[in-house]
Structure 1
Amino acid sequence: MITSTNRFWVTAEAITGDEHTGYIIDWDQRRWYAVNGPNKLLPAEQGKEIDILRRHIDGLSRNVYSITVDDEGLLVSISTSLEDDPTLIPHYPRYANAPSLQECPTIRLSKLTELDRLGPKVDLMSYLNSSAIAKKVVFKYSILFQWRKQIWDELHLTKSLPRHPNLVSFDRIVIDDAESRVLGFTTVFIPGGTLHENQDRVFRLEWLQQLTAVVDYLNLDLGIVHQDIAPRNLLVDPETSKIRLFDFDRAARVGQPACIPERNDVTGVIFTLYEIVTQDEHFRRVPFEEQDPEAVQHVEWPIRCELNNDIALYRNHLNDWIRQRRQICEEKQVQKVPAFNTPDIPRPTPLLRGKDETGEPVYEAPLVRSRADALRLKENIISWERPPQRAIKLQ
């Protein structure tokens, strides 16, 4: 479920005179709120409005859009007026207008049943397959304009990955019911939790070997850098007893601007093994450009997890693999991979909004619009809002 720490996110701030307004998304309800209060209570860029909303949210009805508090953070007023609805709606392209997706299977949002909320923008869902058997999947989506390209890029990269025993597989594209717009995608669900969540299981030497092999496959054969190798992104498939790598939202093609040297996957594997063995994550609690893999390679590792082999075998394999990768880079043996460019997101169709002072028609094709305006114009919108998880019984 979505934790209290991860439940809220400030999307924007505004200061008008002595008053500060923070615009916040509640990922649990997938709902926007405006929190208004004095500047001295809500200084800019400190996230204090999240504390205020967290304090009051359980007492707010589901039609409240905005709250105002006093110097002590006590509730002064609320607004249920559509004029105060801060919700912004990104453009979702029609499936029919996306040639790059036409060969992918689809499923309508209404066919998915929510089972759990795994985190912001990630839900555990199920649907009935062609044999009328419930299939569990992980649904990734975006309700923010700022992240629409990220989910679009991740969708294309994930669907392009060949089937591999150590990668979580793409499942379907999720489209809305009214206009078949692309909302996100699903991947196969692997039960059992991540290596970060389930630290009691024995970490096997072959899992490290599988991890280095699949990283080589991604980097050297496919020209893809994951850029977020970590225990939280590794699962163990209970059917095969093999590890599975997932979550390609930070991935990039080798040589593209989004490929950041400091986030290279060799460094990611070094930190991942150290964190699994020692259960110590402090080396990556600094910005990634300040992270130093050398700091963990040349120190003693206190063993705080159960291993199926001597720690020396793990470290020897890691060190041998690092040497091999360095040699490959020095000798420039990296295989040339055909260039792949993610297609641009199809732009919205211009809509007639009226006429200007000369009588000429005025068209608009916004990439983001306010929900209040869309409702006034009687346009179709994607309804993302849902009850808080504490108030419902999931399947």
Structure 2
Amino acid sequence: MAHLAETPFVDWPAVRYAELIKLDRLAPRVHLVKLADASETRMVAKYASGDSAKGNIGKEINILGRQQLHPSILPVECIILDDNNCVIGMGTKFVPGGDLLRNKDRVFKLKWLQQLTETLDFLHFKQGIVHGDLHLGSLLIDEAADRLVLCDFSRAREATEMNLMEEFWSVMWTLYELVTLDFEAEEEQLQKSYAKYGIYSLDTESIEKLPSWPARTKLDCDAEILRSYMREWLKRRVETLQFVEPREPDPMTSFSRHGEHQCEEPTHGCQWGAKTTRLN
């Protein structure tokens, strides 16, 4: 990525990669870390990838750094620099409740689904973008705040009619998988679409025509209440497509390959730069 001085984030809180202590590997290029001078404070460090197909973290920092704050969108807490002052990643608040994919034992609440759709309304109408990668792993639960939190905006893009429809299909499939724990139906749908049309399409016809969704996870209401709520929201939203003004997320320059290589094994010891970040 660009040298810090070449970005809009010169005055942002920053920490050097070599000064982070890795506690756990949550996903490829995503680590749970801590700071030596704040032993009780943890954050999630997300690093750049040389593979653009895996998302553009520079675009993600731009989106999260420039949009309005929202209680159900995980903000950037600090940026991560390599030894040459190049931005190689970002740090976000660690949410102990984890995502919906890893923690399937909690009771999922109707209010969390309502928070998700309200957040998508905010993104689509106020920001003009779609999240672009909705799935159980991008939905966190902040149990202390009793709130669903949306993360991972590396594939966000402008809210065109087609992108919005794909977002709607994704959120319906996400709800289906949350309720049923059926993770094979989506792949079957994609393969059938490719065999028939030569493209991977993920509409919701196959799951919508089911008379009921077998609930294999814990819910605070009947599964059909969640399904009915989603249907009504989607119906309203399809009717409002023409009122969305799409905005192309601004990309940033390429990442430093130096940072991509370094992020596998941080060295211990930590010292903040000139700015102090908030890590609640």
1:112 aligns with 2:20: yes
Residue 264 of structure 1 aligns to a residue in which SS? helix
Q: CA deviation at 1:292?
A: 2.4
Q: CA deviation at 1:341?
A: 5.0
1:161 aligns with 2:63: no
Structure possessing the higher radius of gyration over alpha carbons: 1
Aligned to 2:167: 265
Separation in structure 2 between the aligned mates of residue 149 and residue 195 of structure 1, nearest angstrom: 21
Residue 199 of structure 1 aligns to a residue in which SS? coil
Q: CA deviation at 1:136?
A: 1.3
CA contact (8 A) 1:128 1:135 kept: no
Separation in structure 1 between the aligned mates of residue 149 and residue 206 of structure 2, nearest angstrom: 27
Residue 141 of structure 2 aligns to a residue in which SS? strand
- Relative to structure 1, is the Cα distance of residues 343 and 197 closer, same or farther in structure 2, using a 3 angstrom cutoff? closer
State the TM-score, normalizing by the size of structure 1: 0.59
CA contact (8 A) 2:179 2:216 kept: yes
Separation in structure 2 between the aligned mates of residue 318 and residue 108 of structure 1, nearest angstrom: 43
Q: CA deviation at 1:262?
A: 8.0
Q: CA deviation at 1:128?
A: 5.5
Partner amino acid for 2:243? Q
- Relative to structure 1, is the Cα distance of residues 137 and 295 closer, same or farther in structure 2, using a 3 angstrom cutoff? same
Give me the identity figure in percent: 31
CA contact (8 A) 2:49 2:260 kept: no
1:274 aligns with 2:182: no
Match of 1:135 among 37, 41, 44: 41
Q: CA deviation at 1:158?
A: 2.2
Q: Greater CA deviation, 200-209 or 262-271?
A: 262-271
Higher helix share: 2
- Relative to structure 1, is the Cα distance of residues 343 and 250 closer, same or farther in structure 2, using a 3 angstrom cutoff? closer
Q: What pairs with 1:1-395 in structure 2 (closer than 5 Å)?
A: 92-98=1-7, 100-127=8-35, 132=38, 134-144=40-50, 146=52, 150-177=56-83, 179-255=84-160, 261=163, 264-285=166-187, 286=190, 289-299=200-210, 300-329=212-241, 332-334=242-244, 336=245, 339=247, 342=250, 344-345=252-253, 383-384=262-263, 386=265
Please list the CA deviations of residues 75-129 of structure 1 after superposition, one character each: whole Å capped at 9, or x if unmatched: xxxxxxxxxxxxxxxxx4211122x222322111132111101111111111257
CA contact (8 A) 2:12 2:79 kept: yes
Separation in structure 1 between the aligned mates of residue 105 and residue 254 of structure 2, nearest angstrom: 46
Q: Which runs of 4+ in 1 moved over 6 A?
A: none
Separation in structure 1 between the aligned mates of residue 96 and residue 13 of structure 2, nearest angstrom: 23
Residue 101 of structure 1 aligns to a residue in which SS? coil
CA contact (8 A) 1:172 1:185 kept: yes
- Cα RMSD (Å): 2.9
State the TM-score, normalizing by the size of structure 2: 0.81
Residue 118 of structure 1 aligns to a residue in which SS? strand
Gaps of 5+ in 1: 1-91, 348-366, 372-379, 388-395
- Relative to structure 1, is the Cα distance of residues 263 and 227 closer, same or farther in structure 2, using a 3 angstrom cutoff? farther
CA contact (8 A) 1:149 1:345 kept: no
CA contact (8 A) 2:166 2:202 kept: no
- Relative to structure 1, is the Cα distance of residues 307 and 160 closer, same or farther in structure 2, using a 3 angstrom cutoff? same
CA contact (8 A) 2:157 2:249 kept: no
CA contact (8 A) 2:59 2:249 kept: no
Residue 157 of structure 1 aligns to a residue in which SS? helix
Q: Greater CA deviation, 237-246 or 133-142?
A: 133-142
Separation in structure 2 between the aligned mates of residue 95 and residue 149 of structure 1, nearest angstrom: 20
Q: CA deviation at 1:321?
A: 0.4
